[in-house]
Chains A and B, each alone.
Chain A
C-alpha cells in the first residue's frame, strides 16, 4: 500500500486550533508555521507530510465529510448541530463545556400547560433534546446573544453553550437543566480512514499519547 500520501487536517479556528497546535508541539512536531501563520489558511508541518487547514467549525465537518480533508478537530457542539457522515474516533478532552437549558432565575421551565418557546443558535440540538423528552416546544433561532431572548420576553428559556455560567448570571439567568457535555473531537473521513490507515493510526496514537501525558 502506498502510505506516503499527505494527511490534510482541518482545525477549528480559535481555541481548538490553539489547543491542537499545543498538542502537536507536545508530540514534537515543528509548529513554527502554525504559530506564525499570518493570514494563511493552509499551513504545513515541516517533515511530517501533514497539511493543516484552518476553518470555521461547521466547515471542518463539511471538508472532512466530503474528503477534502482527511481529519478534523471540531467541537461536539458542532457535530451535534450539523450531523454528517464521518468517523468520530476520539475525545480530545480539551474545549470542555456543555449545552444547557437556561431560564430566568427562579422560574420552573416545565410548569404550566402552555407550549414553551425556546431561543437558541443551535436549533437541531434543541429540537433533538425536546423530541427525546417527547415534548412540543416552539424554537426561535437567534444569531447573537441568546441571553437576551428571555429577558425581552420572547422565550421561556434558551439552549446554549455554557462554560462558566458567568454570562448567564450577569443577565439574571441560571442553568435549569444540562443538555449534553461538549468537548473537542477528532473526526476522520470514512474513506481516508481506510485508504490512509497507517498514517492516520500513527498520528492519532501520537495525539492520544500526548494527551495522556498531559493529564498526568
Chain B
C-alpha cells in the first residue's frame, strides 16, 4: 500500500520561519487595526454542519467543500467561509444583542479546489462584519477600513475597486431567465465574457435590459465610468444605485488615495454570491488574485432567522503575507541576541542567567551542548553575535 506519511495534502503547506513570521505580522497588524476601531473578535468552529452552507440559496457549490460525517452520520464540512458561520451566530446566540454589532475574525478557511490548480485549499482569513446599522454609515466605515488594510500591506502598487451587485440583480431580474441561465449569465459577467454574453442574450433582441447587461462588465475604470454609466443604465432604479455609488466613491476619494480607487459596475463576487449591495475588492501588484473581497449582504442573515442588513470583508492573509515577504529586504525571522552556555555542573546558574537577561529585554537561547566549543560554533553558524559563558563564579561575554 502506498503511504503518504511524508507528504502534506495538495493545497496545504507547512509554514516555516519567514513565511510564518510574515503571516503573524499581518495577522497582528490587522488584529490591532480592527481592535482599535472597536471590533470584537469571534472564533467559530472549524467543523460545521453542511446545512449551514447549503441553504436554499445554495451559496457554496458542494464540490467546493471538504466533507466528513459525525458520529451520528450527519454531514459536516470544514468551514469554507467565515461570514456564514457568523450569520448563524447572529441568528442564534447574538439575536438579542444591541445592533450594530461589529465583529472580526482570524481563522483558517478550507476550499476543495480542482486538483493541480496550484491554489491553497487551506488558508488564513481575517476580516470584519458590521451587522445592522445604517447602510450609508456602515458602508463607508467598512470601505475605509478595507482601504486602510490595503495601504498597510505596503505593496508596490494596489487598486481598490468598488461596485454594486444591485446593478446585476436589478437588470437581470427584468429579463425572463431560468435559474440555470441566470447563474450562467452571472458567470459570464464575472468573467467579462463579452462574446458569451452576446450570444446568450441574443434571443432578447432589442431589449434595453439585455443590451445593458452586455455592456455592464465593460463599465469599469476611474471616475469617468459614472458618466458612461449614466448613458447606459436603463431606468431610475439603476440610476439611483449609481447615484449612491458615486456618493460613496466621492466620499472615499475625499479620504485620500484617490488614484487607487476604481469602479467596476460588473463586479459580481467570484465565490460568494450572497452580496446584495456595495461590493469591493483589493488587488496588489504581483499577486494574480484579489487579496481582499467584501460587500453588503442584506438577505443572508434572514436565512438564519434574523432580518438584519450587514456588510463586511475578508483578507486573504497568505496573500497578504506573500506581499510582506516580497518587500522584506532582510530575513524576517530574527536570530536570538544572545546564546547562553553553561557546563553541566553550572546548569542551574546557566538557566538563572538566561531568565535574567531575558527579563532585561534580550532574546536569548540556551545552548544545549556539552562543551563551550560546540556552543561557539553553533552561535557562529546561526549568526548570533553574543555568547555568554556561565561559570560557578559569574559569567563572561564573548562578542562573536
Contacts and interface: CB of A to CB of B under 8 A. Distances in A.
Interface of A: 1-2, 62, 65-68, 83-91, 185, 188-195, 197
A88 B118 contact: no
Given A85-B270, A88-B192, A190 B289 contact: yes
Given A88-B196, A89-B193, 5 more contacts: A85-B270, A85-B289, A190-B290, A191-B287, A195-B285
Contacts of B192: 87-89, 188, 193
A191 B191 contact: no
A197 B221 contact: yes
Contacts of A68: 288
Contacts of A89: 192-194
Contact of A91 (B195, B287, B288): B195
Contacts of A66: 118, 288
Interface centre among A2, A62, A87, A192 (most CB of B within 10 A): A87
Nearest to B193: A88
A185 B192 CA distance: 12
A65 B113 CA distance: 14
B280 to A, nearest CB: 12
Nearest to B283: A191
B159 interface: yes
Contacts of B220: 194, 197
Contacts of B117: 84
Interface centre among A86, A90, A191 (most CB of B within 10 A): A191
Interface centre among A1, A65, A190 (most CB of B within 10 A): A190
B191 A2 contact: no
Nearest to B118: A66
Interface string B270-293: 100000000000010111111000
Dominant secondary structure at the B interface: loop
B153 to A, nearest CB: 14
> What 8 A-B pairs have minimum CB-CB distances, sorted nearest first?
A67-B288, A91-B195, A87-B192, A88-B193, A191-B283, A66-B288, A194-B159, A88-B191
A206 to B, nearest CB: 17
Nearest to B180: A132
Contact of A189 (B118, B157, B159, B288): B288
Nearest to B264: A194
Contact of B259 (A1, A83, A86, A197): A1
B323 interface: no
Interface in B188-215: 191-196
Nearest to A67: B288
A132 to B, nearest CB: 9
Interface of B: 114, 117-118, 157, 159, 161, 191-196, 220-221, 259, 262, 264, 270, 283, 285-290
Nearest to A63: B288
Interface centre among B117, B195, B283 (most CB of A within 10 A): B195
13 contacts: A62-B118, A66-B118, A66-B288, A67-B289, A68-B288, A85-B191, A88-B195, A90-B194, A191-B289, A194-B220, A194-B262, A194-B283, A197-B262
B281 to A, nearest CB: 8
A1 B287 CA distance: 18
A72 to B, nearest CB: 13
Contacts of B191: 85-88
Contacts of B159: 194-195
Contacts of A192: 288
B344 to A, nearest CB: 54
A163 B190 CA distance: 31
A194 B288 contact: no
Contacts of B194: 89-90
Given A91-B195, A194-B159, A195-B283, A65 B221 contact: no
A189 B192 CA distance: 11
A83 B114 contact: yes
Interface centre among B259, B264, B285 (most CB of A within 10 A): B285
A191 B221 CA distance: 13
Contacts of B196: 88
A194 B289 contact: no
Nearest to A83: B114
A195 B262 CA distance: 10
Given A194-B159, A195-B157, A195-B283, A90 B290 contact: no
A65 B195 CA distance: 19
A189 B289 CA distance: 8
Contacts of B118: 62, 66
B395 to A, nearest CB: 53
A46 B191 CA distance: 31
A67 B259 contact: no
Contacts of B114: 83
Contacts of A62: 118
A15 to B, nearest CB: 19
A194 B195 contact: no
A36 to B, nearest CB: 31
A56 to B, nearest CB: 14
A87 B196 CA distance: 11
A88 B157 CA distance: 24
Contacts of A2: 157
A95 to B, nearest CB: 13
Contacts of A1: 259
B195 A185 contact: yes
Contacts of B270: 85
A188 B285 CA distance: 15
Contact of B290 (A83, A88, A191, A197): A191
